[in-house]
Amino acid sequence: MTLPPGPRMPTFLQGMGWWNRPTAWMERCRARYGRRFTIRLPGQPPFVMISEPDELKQIFKARPMCFIPARARASSSRSSGPIP
């Protein structure tokens, strides 16, 4: 699975944009990369940012199993029961 495009600047600079002016930085990212984009902050996994209300509603209505990473799904298929 590939993540949506996002800024290619180093994570430190992305963190500075987020820290100093988060709203302005996010608006610039949305204008450049679209309604869905990925940001990378220092010491954190990538964040996929979604800015469309209808897409957010779909996420909150999705079943929890939709959010298990592929590696966890692969190992759970070998288990004897459901994931709690």
Strands annotated E in the chain: 36-39, 47-50
Specify whether the CB–CB gap between 28 and 21 falls below 8 A.
no
Specify whether the CB–CB gap between 29 and 73 falls below 8 A.
no
Q: What pLDDT score does 69 carry?
A: 64
Q: What pLDDT score does 67 carry?
A: 66
pLDDT average, residue stretch 38-63: 89
Q: What pLDDT score does 66 carry?
A: 67
pTM confidence score: 0.69
pLDDT average, residue stretch 47-62: 86
Give the confidence band of 13 by pLDDT, cuts at 50, 70, 90: very high
Task: Pull the structure tokens for residue 18.
Answer: 């987020």
Give the confidence band of 79 by pLDDT, cuts at 50, 70, 90: very low
